[in-house]
Amino acid sequence: VGFVIDLELCKKDGFCSQVCPAEIISMDGPQGSPAPVEDFEEVCLHCGHCLAVCPHGALTLEGVAPGDCPPIAKDLKIRPDQARQFLLGRRSIRRYKDKELERGQLEEILDIARQAPSGHNSQPVEWLVFSGREKVKEIAELVADWMGWMVQNMPEIALPLHMDRTLARFRAGGDPLMRGAPYLMVTHAHKDNGFAQSSSTIALTYVDLACYSLGLGACWAGYFYRAALAFPAMQQFLDLPEDHITYGAMFLGYAKYKYPRIPPRNPARVTWR
Ligand SMILES: Cc1cc2nc3c(=O)[nH]c(=O)nc-3n(C[C@H](O)[C@H](O)[C@H](O)COP(=O)(O)O)c2cc1C
As averages over each run of 10 residues, the pLDDT of the chain (273 residues) reads 93 98 97 96 96 98 96 97 98 97 98 98 98 97 98 97 97 97 98 97 98 97 97 98 98 97 98 98
> What integer pLDDT is reported at residue 1 of this predicted model?
65
Q: Which residue has the CA at smallest separation from atom 7 of ligand 1?
A: 222
Q: Is the CB of 95 under 6 A from ligand 1?
A: no
Task: Report pTM.
Answer: 0.95
Which residues, 6 or more positions from 131, have their beta carbon under 8 angstroms from its beta carbon? 106, 182, 183
The CA-based dihedral angle spanning residues 144, 145, 148, 149, taken in that order and rounded to the nearest 10 degrees: -140
Q: Is the CB of 219 under 6 A from ligand 1?
A: yes
What pLDDT score was predicted for residue 176?
Answer: 97
pLDDT of residue 47: 97
Atom number, ligand 1, closest to the C-alpha of residue 176: 11
Q: Is there an atom of ligand 1 within 6 Å of 221 CB?
A: yes
CA of 210 to the centre of ligand 1 (A): 17
> pLDDT tens digits, residue range 139-176?
999 999 999 999 999 999 999 999 999 999 999 999 99
Q: Which of 5, 51, 200 is nearest to 116 (CA)?
A: 200
